[in-house]
Chains A and B, each alone.
Chain A
Amino acid sequence: MDTLITQIIAWPTLLLSLLLFGFAPGAMLRIIVLAFKRDDPRRIELLGELPSVPRLERPFWVCEQLEVALFEGLAGRLAALIGRKRDGLRRHSPLVAPPDPNLSFRRHKILESCQDYARRNGYPPKLKELAKMLGMASTSSLAYQLRDLEKKLGYTLRDRPPTEP
């Protein structure tokens, strides 16, 4: 009985997927890339690549992209979702006690990432990059923290001092 049911379910699904992947790989790919985030360049990249794949190989290639999209695209989306809910700061870095007792953990993390980046690249990070490094969803709270760090605590974090409001 069980096998009968699975067979009834399995055959049409198999046929349908064969039809879809075989005859409309472009349409399938368009649906598949929706798994990536809106601003992910991979969305357009994959669509741009389809025409250069030999026609016979396209169904297989699209199947492969389905796997890629499921793992990477959805994983990225999940990470973004979780990161937004939970504070990304703690996930990204091991716990180190702040060297400056005036500094909160968050500010210490900001300072550390800033210095790390500057050491690696020779210039301080952009606000957006810093937010990404820290796993923060927006730059506004970060801008506020940076202003405080510079004005009240006297750290130098940018090339130019912040302009007076």
Chain B
Amino acid sequence: MRKTHSLVQVAMALMADPSGRHWGYDLSKRSGVRSGVLYPTLQRMLDEGWLRDGWEEQGEVRAKRPPRRYYELTDKGSAELGAVLSAARQDARFRLLMRRFA
């Protein structure tokens, strides 16, 4: 995958909680990536096998709302995204970005 600002931002948001479940809206809030960019990125990560997706069980859903789709990092994914982040730390292009999140 091409290393873009948005990829690095999504990587940071995902790696903030490598074992947790992530939701689209929450991810876009935390990473600051608009949904028009975020969802295609997530889709590509799913295709690459970096992420796993699933739907909330009915039991976990409180009150009246439809189940959400969640994304989880796979082992391969956390390795790859870790590599993306460490490469971004060296890269001058992302210096501002990394400083903001560090």
Hey, which bits of chain A sit against chain B, CB under 8 A?
41-42, 44-49, 51-53, 61, 64-65, 67-68, 71-72
Contact = CB atoms under 8 A, between A and B. Distances in A.
Interface of B: 23-26, 34-36, 39-40, 53, 55-56, 65-69
B68 A49 contact: yes
Chain A binding surface SS class: helix
B36 A48 contact: no
Chain B at the A interface: SS class: mixed
Contacts, number: 45
Contacts of B36: 64, 67-68, 71-72
A52 B53 CA distance: 18
A41 B54 CA distance: 10
A42 B46 CA distance: 13
A53 B68 CA distance: 12
A72 B40 contact: yes
